[in-house]
């Protein structure tokens, strides 16, 4: 069972996953118009790492609070760690 904590703060760079499809992974980013949106970072998806409106997982919002309000029912924030090896 997944525990949902709606009091969590969402911010730029957070990783979110679809509740009904945990293989669909996105990062909260701002597009060229400074709108908050989810950039698809799912392995092997078409359009991965793009903020092109036709390839964004979910719609964009003008504030991070609006983004969370609109998408927290279908998406959940997960703990993630960026690991870069050079």
**What are the pLDDT digits (tens) for 35-72?**
998 888 887 776 667 666 666 656 789 999 999 999 89
- pLDDT reported for residue 14: 94
d(CA 40, CA 55): 8
């Amino acid at each position: 069972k997944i525990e949902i904590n709606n009091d969590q703060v969402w911010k730029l760079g957070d990783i979110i996953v679809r509740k009904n499809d945990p293989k669909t992974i996105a990062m909260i980013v701002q597009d060229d118009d400074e709108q908050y949106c989810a950039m698809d970072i799912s392995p092997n998806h078409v359009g991965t790492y793009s903020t092109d409106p036709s390839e964004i997982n979910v719609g964009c919002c003008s504030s991070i609070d609006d983004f969370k309000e609109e998408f927290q029912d279908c998406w959940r924030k997960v703990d993630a760690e960026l690991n870069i090896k050079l």
